[in-house]
Every structure is written in structure tokens, then in C-alpha cells.
Chains A and B, each alone.
Chain A
């Protein structure tokens, strides 16, 4: 009887397993889009960045189609009364290697040579005792065929997400699913050309570089919309940062990611430092930084001029750990800072896995007691998801802001 029972069980298990196999839905993709093919070594038909060039404005605010990658990258800290907020809006452009339309075929209006990706995020620190912190994020893609996306001297857009140039700055009109913002940004100090007159070397090979300029401090004023009351705009003001960068395959294959800090100090100085990480977790010698004084004067920093020390790691729901609290030391500038996130969960979980969020900055506490706030800013952490989960689909060279 036991033998019969075993045969019966085996038979039922086989039948159920077969049915389960047929009834199973296809494995859902993990939602992470690999754009490695687009961001790897650029085809020969794209130009590379090999040295400084003289920038021309407003012409260089527009897209540079001869280069493979390009981005327009806004971050900023805002306040709605006692409610601390942060925002990020990034427009990425990737050049495509497309097949031209045959000679005897009239090209479609959808034809495009570029793929555009927009990232819009809002970090809501919440109101003490009233609402919890919340991270809003939305990603969009478009092509520039049919004028669905693009960047001219006067406007940068992806569908209805628009950044329009006005006399003394830019107007951001960005409405996402369940959140949005409408801001006017006005530069309060001159533009900063990063690296050597805007030439930013990122790796050892010629071409591992980008053209890079920033508006490190823009005053921000406008409204944000949160899903708790989309029809009720919340008035905000604060300070923002704009980075513009373009190039073709600027990162070296030996680099695994970066940690990028953009800090507005209350004393008027703006600090930007980034640590490029090698595959062996060491800091690349191409790591750089800059301190910009209120009059626009800049002090460039090399890798040996600063230290970045992770203090606390936060594990996301996939188990990937992100270093969200840091000590930033720039001895030559008498800067020693404690950097902590506005809240931990500011991880992007769309096509690209990275952490980008609002940070609060304090003076490094040399004595017991609460640290003294001295500034605010943004932090970007890239390449951790790939390192922690080797099978992850996200590219080693994620299309986030390469510093």
C-alpha cells in the first residue's frame, strides 16, 4: 500500500508541477533597463572629448549631437515653511546608431538619432508629527523624432516636461504622476567651468573625459505638487544646482561607480567633490572636486586634497547597501563636514539603480552634543547595486550624472 501511495504522490506531484509550469506567468523582468550598449564604448562615428574647448553661450546650452552622451542635471533643496524638500530633474541624451531609411523610402517623422531619458524626483522630508518622509520618482523615455524631446538654446524638454530659458535663468515646468513642480531658477553667481576650462578628465585613456560646466548656486522659487493635494500647490523657495556635461564613453572600464556631493554651505561657499571608484574599491586618481566662493572664484581639488569616509550604510528592499552618511574633509579649505540624508530611502528603482537624494550638512562634531548645521545639498551614489548583486542588469556605466 505504501508503494501505491508513493506512486500516487509522484504522479500527482508530476501533474501539479506540469500544470504549474503551464499556469505560471512569464517571469517578470526586474524593471531595470540595461542601456549598456548605448553607454559603452562609443562607435567611431561619435566625437570624443580630448581637451578643453572654448564654450559659447547660449549655444552650448543646446544639445551636442556629435557626442554620444549628454545631460542637463538639476538638483536643489527647497523649503515649504517647515517642510524640507529636495528635487532632481535630469534630462539624458544618448546618441543612437540607427539604420538610415532606404533611399527610395520617405523617412518617417518618428526617425531619430537620439534617445532621451528624463528623471524627475521629489524628496519630501515631511512635517514633524504630521507626515512621513516620502520619495517621489518618475522616469520617462522619448525620441526626438516628432519633436517629442530635445534641447535647444531656449528650451530643454521631454514631452510635457520642459525647462525654458528666460532672461535671467530657467523656468522648470515638470508634472509627474502624483507629484510635480514649477520653479523659476535664477543663477546667483557666475558659471563654473569644471576641470581644466570645462575639460573634465575621468579616466586614463584619451576620450575618458567630458565637457563640464555648472551653475553651482541658483535661487529657486515656485510651487510643488504632492499627491496629498495635487490641486493645491505648495509654495517653496530654496537653492538649486545645474550641471551640464557631454562626451562619448568618458568612464574607464576599470571604474565601477562614483560618490558625488554638491553642497551649498551657509557661509556662501559651494562644494562639489566626487570619488570615482575603481573595480577594486579603491579611489581613482581621477577623482576631483571644486570649492566655489560667492564671487565665483573657484578652487580646484584633486583626489589627494580631500577624503570621503562613509559612516552609515542603508540597505534597500533588495538588500543592496548604500553609504548614505559621510564625513567630508577638505583640509586646505578648512572644511570638515558630517553629511546625512534628509531620509534614507531616496533610491531610484526605475531603469537605473542608483541613490540620489537630499542631504543635510553639519560641521563635524569635535565635542559632545548636537552637530551644528552648516549647509544642505545633494548626494549621488552609483554602482553599488551592480557591485552588491552581480547578476543585476543595470549597466556598470549607469547613465546617471557622471561628475
Chain B
């Protein structure tokens, strides 16, 4: 074994560049997977961990069913005999500079258990009754402040200057968070007498449940996290799928490089076999090398992945906040459990990925110093029928999927099968096209490629998958963007929208606006307070507003008087968005329960409309029903349908009647919506690029392998008069051809990915369907990228192959 170890070491020293390439591929694959995994954890963990950190233990939360909790509840409970520790929380989203932060008002005298983030910090006592704040080191870094500095926390109409009393080293739960005394939060953000929630140790749940309930519910932190996880599931699963593909591509690199190294050491192995080294020893040697590679590459990948995760978090923080109403953590919080799992997994997968190489090594007969090309070529041309099984199974899973994971596994299986077939199809196509090329240099180049197809197949697969992924995701995103654009355009029927932060638009204001000569009609919107797990809005809809709905399904009334619109206006039914319909599996005509102050009401569903506003879905009731059941008459926003009305007229009407309002045009709303959309998918693009880069490494390594394996052919070409430049051009033609072939093969794959993402995964993840379309821009982009990758990937192998003296090639190979 010592002899074999020495042989491995010698090879490593001789081929440092190739080993480095393999290391890079492994590290890159693991890095992307670890990065996405850690980022996902951070996204879920970024919600509701602040209290746990402050309390020093897991907590449950008492949350109001409507609005806020009166602080008297806290007083009553805290003074009851046997009361557990109770943590009063006042929470407020604020802006500090351009950053969205969560300002948490706490009683610093509570939650000072030994594990608390503030335990042992004298500032805990000093916070009481002062305008000071404590923040995590990461928050301080984000804001560029230190102890003793000041920050201004502001909402639309309030602001307070806070002294930074302490910066604490703690978990990421306190990132993007300013901890202040509860008095500061209440006094400066109009929360007097109110609490956002009351937290308590988990053991206190039974005690809390025994208290008389007056409009509150108990949820545990794990439930909150689960809720957050559900909400952000769509975004995270898309990323997870891509991270797995990245790892798969990374492993193809490992396979490719090891395969390349095997070519170079074939004579050595044959020689060792000839002198009596057993096959098992050879396989052990190769496995040891792979393990070493995976150990180092995996470790480096974890390091890079951790930093990558932080970078990805920065990319998703804005859309996460916009979509889920909570700032994302700014850094990941890895544990050895996660690191260990990824590391061990990558080693095992590396072993599996080199199964083919091991098999090949196993079969090297003693003394056979070169490979039988004809045999390898004929073997590799046989179509692997076994790949039909995962393909069929995958398609079945996708078609029958009622859970997101099923659809993702199905897609993965289909892509895996395609990855097996892609090279076969590609080389078959190449073989057919080759005959039309005459007998020139290009023909020679393609023939060499075909003879090395066994070596090039993984790289072709990797590149095709990466390009297909980029194009497929791009098509899905562009198709989705187009759908959102159409939806917003259709939805916003009014000419100008008047909005306020709270329900401060009174019927009087509405009447005053309606009395203006240029105002044709007014629609009204109000968010409804309800404990239901979906959004409820109350709409007052004039005739032109109804054109804004893109109906998925509508009840069919027998007459005008019984039409859905009339029934809605009378409060005899509700409209629900498509995500809500999908999540609750409800159809038009069925009843849906609505929690109202007057008790639970079952109302028929009059229509289902397309909506991309929220994942949890929206239920719309008429303004009249809202007024009847909730007794509230004010509105959050108005849509003004005008004819020749000057906006200044609206300002004049509102001048003395309404403060803090905003007038927005549909164009502006549309622009803002698409901006959030684009931010949301920035991370998808970033990952697609990363996968593409890894695939490029795969291609380079494969071409190097081909160069070594076909050294004799190259040397012969040089010997018969091909110049270095011509030989270099031949190599680049080969790489460019392979890359374009990969792009061609990626086209159908990208359509598969796009279709499954749009038609199956989006509805399962978010509840909405995206109308299927076929944007062609990503294909053009893919072709251009493939061409660039092809040329770039060919430069180094061309240099290596062209520079090597032909005599040396021939000497080595004879």
C-alpha cells in the first residue's frame, strides 16, 4: 500500500494543475450547495429568534387575534400567584438610514436568564427608561455604528434618536434588530398601552392556556418558524433545487477530472497490474485519492459556501422583507451538524460519482498500456435504456404531484435521465452532421471529438444541464414577469390611487372626492382584521373596477339580478384569489368560513381571480358586508376613475381633511411591483451563473482529458505539418463545437424545466399558476454564453496541446 500511496503522491506532484482543477470543481459544487442550505436556514431562523435570544430559552408567544394586546393583560397575569416569567414585546418596523430594521421594545429586566443575549451585560439595567439601544455586532456593522454613536429610527411619521449603548456578540436572531426599552417603543411609536405580544418560556404554555381568553392565541416559536418556513417555501425550494444541480455539476467535474487522471496513469496501472498488484488495491488507491479530494475540496467548499451564503442573503434580504414583512438575517449561523452533514454527504457523493472511473480502472488488464478506443467508442454509443426508468417515474411524479417535494424529485429524476441521454443524443447528432463537413480540418476535429465521446460525455452533460437550467429559469422568470406585468396592468383600472398607512380615509372624504366634477367613480379598499390565516380585504367596486379581475372561474348567474357581481355587492358571497383556492382546495359555489366579530360566517364563493399579491391568498368581501359585520366605515385606499381631472384638485380636496396620504399612478405601482419582482429573482440568476461557471470548469477538465487521451492524434497532426496556431484553432473549434452542441441540447431541456417550474412547481409552491409562454430571449442568451464558454474553455487546452512538442507526445505514447 505504501507503494501505491507513493504512486498517488507522485502523480499529484506531477499533475498539480489537474488536481487543482478537481479540487476547484469539488469545492465549487459543495460551496453552492452549502451556501444555499445555510442561507435557507438563516431565512427561516431570522424570524422570531430575537425573543429566544433575549430570553435565553425557547419561548411561546401570546399574540392578539386583532390588532394589539392591552398591556393590562400583562399586569394581571404577572401578578397572579404562580405566574411564569412573561416577556412583554412591542415590535415596530423602522428605517435606519436606508435599512429596514425591527425595533423591539422589551423590558430588559425580564429575560436575563443565564443564556440571555444580555445576561452579564450591565447595559441591561441601564436601558430601563432611557433612549438607548442594544444591537448585535452584525447590525452595528451594517449601520456603520459603534457604542456611543447615535442612530435615528424612523417610521413614516415618527422618529427617535437612540444612543447605541452596547453592541453584543450574539446569534443572528438579533441581526437587523434594535433592542430598546419598552417605554421608548411605546412612547415614540404611538403604541401606548399596547403590546405586540407576550412571550413566555415553553413550559408556561399550560399556565397561559388556563387564563381566560379574550382575543389572543398562543403560538410557539417553532410554530412561528414553521409558518415563516411555509411562507418562504416557494423561494427556498427553487433555490434548493438549483443548489442540488450545482452539486451534481460539481460532481461531474470531479468525475471528469478523475477520469482525465486515469487516462494519464493508465500505463502505470497496467504496469502495476503486470507486477502483481491486485485490482482491489488499485481501486482502494483511487478511492483514497477521491476521499482526499472530497475532504479538502469539501472543506474549502464549506468555507466558500459560508461566505457565499452571506452574499446570497444580501441579495435576498430586500425581496424577503418586501414579500414576507420581516427583515432577513444578514449572516448565516452555521453549526457543526450542518457542516458535518454537507461534508460527509459530499464525500459519499464523490465516491458514487467516480463509480464509472473505478469500473474502468478495475478492468485495466495487466500490461495494456493504451486504451482500446474502438471498444470504448462502441460501448459508449449504446443508449442506456435503464435511464428510462427514472425518466418515466419522474414524469409520473410531476404529473401526479400534490406536494412540492414530489414535483422537485420528479424534475430531478427527469433531468438525471436527460443527463444520461444528452451525450448520446449529442454525439449521434454530431456523427450525422460530420459527413456534411467534407474531409477538412473541421471534419478531423469532430472525428476526434467523437472518438473521445466517452471522456467528453460528463462535460457535455454538465454544460447542457447548466445552460438548460439558466435558460429554463430565465424563461420561467420572464414568463412569470410578463404574467405579473399583465396582471398589474389589468388590475389597476383606476387613474390614480390614494393610499394611507392606516384606515384614515373617511366616507366624508370619499364623498368630497366623488363630488368633484372630474371624478367618474371611486373604488375602495380596506384591509380587514381577522384571525383567518389569509388576507381579507373589503372592496367597494364600481362598474369599471370589475374589469380588473382576471377570472379563473366565476359562478354563472341566471339573470343580471343574480349575477356574481350583484351578489358580491349585496354581501351574499365572497371572491377568493387563486392561491387561496388552491391551498384550501375550494371551488366556485362552495362555502368558505370567515371569522368576524359577530362570529364565524359561511359564505359562498362567487368567483376565483388570478392574483400574485400574496402566497397565503386573499379573500375579498364587499365594503357593505364589512361595514355590516365589523361596523367600520373607513378605508385604507381609494381608486379614482377620472375624466379630465387635474391631480392638484385632489390635493386641494384632501388638504385639510387627510394627513400622510399618497397619490400614486398605476404606472408607478406597476414599476414598484416589477422592481420587487426583479429583486426577488436576482438570487436565481446568481445561482444560474454559478452553476454555469462550475460547468465551464467541467468542460475545461474534459477537454484536457481529451487532449491527453488523443495526444497521439494531435502529435500526428503536428507531424504532418499543422502549425501550432492551426492546432490551437482546431482545439478551439472542438470546444466551441461542444459548447454549441451543449446549448442545442439544452434547448429542449430548458423547455422541460420552464414548463415544470411554471405549470407544476409554481402552483404548488405559491398557489398561483403562471400562464405558459415561450420567451425566446433566454435561448439567445444561452447560445451567446455557450459560445463564450466554448472559446474560453478552449484557450488553455489549446495552449497546452499546441505547445507540447509532437516528438514528446509520440515518445510518451509509443
Which residues from chain A sit less than 8 Å from chain B, CB to CB? 1, 4, 8, 11-12, 15-16, 18-20, 22-23, 25-38, 94, 96, 98-99, 101-102, 105-113, 115, 140-143, 145-148, 157, 159-160, 173, 175, 351, 393
Q: How far is the CB of A325 from chain B (nearest CB, A)?
A: 29
The reply to whether A99 and B129 form a contact with Cβ atoms under 8 Å apart is yes
With A108-B192, A160-B82 already in contact, the answer to whether A26 and B171 are too (CB < 8 A) is: yes
Q: Which of A37, A109, A110, A148 makes the CB contact (< 8 A) with B125?
A: A37
Please state if B170 and A23 are interface contacts (CB–CB under 8 Å).
Answer: no
22 contacts between A and B (CB under 8 A): A4-B13, A16-B299, A18-B303, A19-B302, A19-B336, A29-B115, A29-B120, A31-B113, A31-B114, A33-B124, A96-B128, A99-B131, A106-B187, A108-B183, A110-B88, A110-B107, A111-B183, A140-B85, A142-B78, A143-B128, A146-B75, A157-B79
For B74, the chain A residues whose CB sits under 8 A away are: 146
A142 near B169: Cβ-Cβ < 8 Å = no
The listed residue with most B CB atoms (<10 A of its CB), out of A8, A20, A22, A108, is A108
Considering the chains assembled together, what is the distance between the CA atoms of A96 and B85 in angstroms? Answer: 23
Chain B contacts of A35 at CB under 8 A?
122, 125
B739-772: which residues lie under 8 A (CB-CB) from chain A? none
Query: Known: A1-B6, A26-B170. Contact between A145 and B339, CB under 8 A?
Result: no
Which of B6, B80, B186, B306 sits near A160, CB closer than 8 Å?
B80
- CB–CB B125/A115 < 8 A: yes
Judge whether B296 is part of the interface by a CB distance below 8 angstroms: yes
A350 CB to closest chain B CB (Å) equals: 8
Q: Is the CB of A110 within 8 A of B183?
A: yes
| A12 contact set on B, CB distance < 8 A | 295-296, 299
Contact bitstring B109-122, A, C-beta under 8 A = 1, else 0: 11011111101111
Pairwise interchain contact A108-B299, C-beta atoms closer than 8 A: no
A28 in contact with B114 (CB, 8 Å): yes
**Are A108 and B186 in contact, with the CB atoms below 8 A?**
yes
A160 to B79, CA, bound (A): 4
Q: Is the CB of B129 within 8 A of A27?
A: no
Establish whether residues A109 and B71, one from each chain, have CB atoms under 8 Å apart when the complex forms: yes
- Which residues of chain B are near A175, meaning CB under 8 Å? 81-82
Check B112 against A33 for contact (C-beta < 8 Å).
yes
Decide: A15 near B13, CB < 8 A? Known: A29-B121, A98-B128, A98-B129: no
Q: Is A111 a contact of B193 with CB atoms below 8 Å?
A: no
Q: Which of A19, A20, A94, A142 has its CB near the most chain B CB atoms (within 10 A)?
A: A19
When the two chains form their complex, are residues A107 and B183 in contact, meaning their CB atoms are under 8 A apart? yes
In this assembly, does B808 line the interface, its C-beta being within 8 Å of a C-beta of chain A? no
Contacting pair B116 A29 (CB below 8 A): yes
Does B682 have its Cβ within 8 Å of any Cβ on chain A? no
Specify which chain B residues have a CB less than 8 angstroms from the CB of A23 in the assembled complex.
Answer: 334-336, 338-339
B119 neighbours in A (Cβ, 8 Å): 28-31, 33
Smallest CB separation, B131 vs chain A (Å): 6
Report B-chain residues with C-beta under 8 Å of the C-beta of A28.
114-115, 119
CA distance A143 to B106 in the complex (A): 12
Given known pairs A31-B119, A108-B192, the reply for A20 and B336 (CB within 8 Å) is: yes
Q: Is the CB of B296 within 8 A of A115?
A: no
Q: Mark B residues whose CB is within 8 Å of A.
A: 5-6, 9, 12-13, 71, 74-75, 78-83, 85, 88, 107, 109-110, 112-117, 119-122, 124-126, 128-131, 169-171, 181-183, 186-188, 192-193, 292, 295-296, 299-300, 302-303, 306, 334-336, 338-339
> For A147, what are the chain B residues with a Cβ–Cβ distance below 8 Å?
75, 79
Q: Is the CB of A15 within 8 A of B187?
A: no
A111 to B129, CA, bound (A): 6
Asked if residues A31 and B120 are in contact (CB atoms below 8 Å), the reply is yes
**Chain A proximity of B13: nearest CB distance (Å):** 7
- Beyond A29-B119, A146-B74, A160-B83, 6 additional contacts (C-beta under 8 Å) are A28-B115, A33-B124, A102-B187, A112-B129, A142-B109, A142-B110
Chain B residues with CB under 8 Å of A4's CB are: 9, 12-13
The reply to whether B296 and A11 form a contact with Cβ atoms under 8 Å apart is yes
Check A98–B78 contact: CB distance below 8 A. no
Contacts of A22 in B (CB 8 A): 306, 334
Roughly how many angstroms separate A159 CA and B122 CA in the complex, as a whole number?
23
Q: How far is the CB of B28 from chain A (nearest CB, A)?
A: 15
| Docked-complex contact A30 and B120, CB < 8 angstroms | yes
Contacts of B170 in A (CB 8 A): 26
Nearest residue, chain A, Cβ from B332: A22
Establish whether residues A33 and B107, one from each chain, have CB atoms under 8 Å apart when the complex forms: no
> In the assembled complex, how far is the CB of residue B716 from the closest CB belonging to chain A, in whole angstroms?
37
Measured CB to CB, the closest approach of chain B to A45, in angstroms, equals 14
Q: Which residue of the partner chain A has the closest CB to B335? A: A23
Complex CA distance for A12 and B113, rounded to whole angstroms: 38
Complex alpha-carbon distance, A113 and B339, angstroms: 48
Contact A159 B78 (CB under 8 A): yes
Closest A residue to B85 by CB, please name it: A140
Q: Which residues of B contact A146 (CB under 8 A)?
A: 71, 74-75
How far apart sit A160 and B75, CA to CA, in the bound complex (Å)? 10
Chain A residues within an 8 Å CB radius of B9? 1, 4
Give CA–CA (A110, B78) in the complex, Å. Answer: 14
Let me know if B130 and A98 touch, CB within 8 A.
yes
> What chain A residues lie within 8 Å of B181 (beta carbons)?
110
Query: CB distance B78 to A160 under 8 Å?
Result: yes
Give the distance in Å from the alpha carbon of A35 to the alpha carbon of B80 in the complex.
28
Q: Which residues of B contact A105 (CB under 8 A)?
A: 187-188
Q: Would you give the shortest CB distance from B174 to chain A, in whole angstroms?
A: 10
User: Does the CB pair A141–B110 fall under 8 Å?
Assistant: yes
Per the bound structure, the CA–CA distance linking A105 and B128 in Å amounts to 17
Q: Tell me, in angstroms, the Cα distance from A224 to B74 when the chains sit together.
A: 27
* Bound-complex Cα distance A19 to B341 (A): 13
Complexed CA–CA distance, A1 and B12 (Å) = 10
Complex CA distance for A111 and B130, rounded to whole angstroms: 9
Cα separation A147 to B76 with both chains bound (whole Å) = 10
Establish whether residues A108 and B122, one from each chain, have CB atoms under 8 Å apart when the complex forms.
no
Closest chain A residue to B119, Cβ basis: A29
- Report the minimum CB–CB distance from B566 to chain A (whole Å): 48
B112 touches A19 (CB 8 A): no
Q: Please report the C-alpha to C-alpha distance between residue A20 and residue B306 in the assembled complex, in whole angstroms.
A: 12
In contact, A33 and B125 (Cβ under 8 angstroms): yes
Tell me whether A32 and B182 are in contact (CB under 8 A): no
Contact among A29, A31, A159 for B79, CB-based, below 8 A: A159
Given the known interface contacts A106-B192, A107-B183, A115-B125, the answer about A33 and B120 at a Cβ–Cβ threshold of 8 Å is yes
Tell me the bound Cα distance from A141 to B110 in angstroms. Answer: 6
A27 vs B120: C-alpha distance when bound (angstroms): 11
Q: Are B183 and A145 in contact (CB under 8 A)?
A: yes
Residues of B within 8 A of A94 (CB): 125
Return chain A residues, CB-CB under 8 Å to B334.
19, 22-23
Going nearest first, the 8 A-B pairs with the smallest beta carbon separation are: A98-B129, A31-B114, A29-B120, A141-B109, A15-B299, A29-B119, A108-B186, A108-B183
Q: How far is the CA of A108 from the CA of B186 in the complex (A)?
A: 6
Chain B residues closer than 8 Å to A27, beta-carbon distance: 169
Closest B residue to A25 by CB, please name it.
B171
* Complex Cα spacing A308 to B130, Å: 45
Bound together, the chains give a CA A11 to CA B299 distance in angstroms of 9
Q: Which residues of A contact B112 (CB under 8 A)?
A: 33, 141, 351
Residue of A nearest to B302 (CB): A19
Does B109 lie within 8 Å of A26, measured CB to CB?
Answer: no
By CB atoms of chain B within 10 A, which of A16, A19, A110, A145 has the most? A110
Asked whether, in the complex, the Cβ of B306 is within 8 Å of the Cβ of A37, the reply is no
Chain B residues, Cβ within 8 Å of A160: 78-83
- A36, B122: Cβ atoms under 8 Å? yes
Q: Which residues of A contact B12 (CB under 8 A)?
A: 4
Name the A residues within 8 Å of B117 (CB-CB). Answer: 26
Nearest-CB residue, chain B, relative to A349: B114
Nearest B-chain residue to A113, judged by Cβ: B129
Closest beta carbon of chain B to A143's beta carbon, Å: 6
Q: Is the CB of B295 within 8 A of A34?
A: no
A residues near B83, Cβ cutoff 8 Å = 159-160
Beyond A25-B171, A30-B120, A145-B183, is A109–B296 a contact (Cβ under 8 Å)? no
Residues in B with CB closer than 8 Å to A107 are 183, 187
Q: Point out the residue from B129, B186, B192 that lies within 8 Å of A96, measured CB to CB.
A: B129
Bound-state Cα–Cα, A141 to B78, Å? 12
